[in-house]
Amino acid sequence: MSAINYYTAEGLQKLKDELHHLKTVQRPSISEQIAEARDKGDLSENAEYDAAKEAQGILEMKIAKMEEIIANARLIDETHMDNSKVYILSKVTIKNQTNGMEIEYTLVAENEADIKARKISIESPIGKGLLGKKVGDIADIQTPGGIMHFEIIAITR
């Protein structure tokens, strides 16, 4: 049994699009490579054939894994979320108590994290430390660089 993963509508669609690409573009391409290598003769000494078959096996494993992830995916309904505490999909403005710097992050599932887009995983040290906090709370978060103290300034969706 696979673990249940939570996705936004955008994140789940991105995963489905990637699966579609693997099935409709990469799978036929590898099949074509296998056919070309097979046409070159003796398969027992054909390195191209062996490489194409190995690539096909890896692709099929990736497709099966993605199908399993999608089958166990759960969509997060943002309309019924509480803004009084930090939860997954909360947009949180925090203030570093040491240097006074403010930053805004959106907490997302592990597989949707993108630090450039300021989306951090709820599994990350900062994400874990912010979960359940309210505006005005101080989150003491253990990071590789030591304990950091962040004040929750605002929580939005």
pTM of whole model > 0.85? no
Q: How many domains does the chain have?
A: 2
Kindly tell me if the per-residue pLDDT of 87 is higher than 60. Answer: yes
CATH number of the domain that residue 147 is part of: 3.10.50.30
Range of the domain at 91: 78-156
Q: Looking at the structure, tell me whether residues 102 and 116 fall in a common domain.
A: yes
Name every residue whose Cβ is closer than 8 Å to that of residue 153 and which is 6 or more positions away in sequence.
93, 94, 95, 102, 135
The whole-number pLDDT of residue 2 equals 61
pLDDT tens profile 102-155 = 999 999 888 888 899 999 998 899 999 999 999 999 999 988 888 999 999 999
Q: Looking at the structure, tell me whether residues 83 and 46 fall in a common domain.
A: no
**Residue 42: both structure tokens together:** 């003796």
pLDDT tens profile 15-68 = 999 999 999 999 999 999 888 888 877 666 778 888 888 999 999 999 999 999
Pair 139, 79: CB distance under 8 Å: no
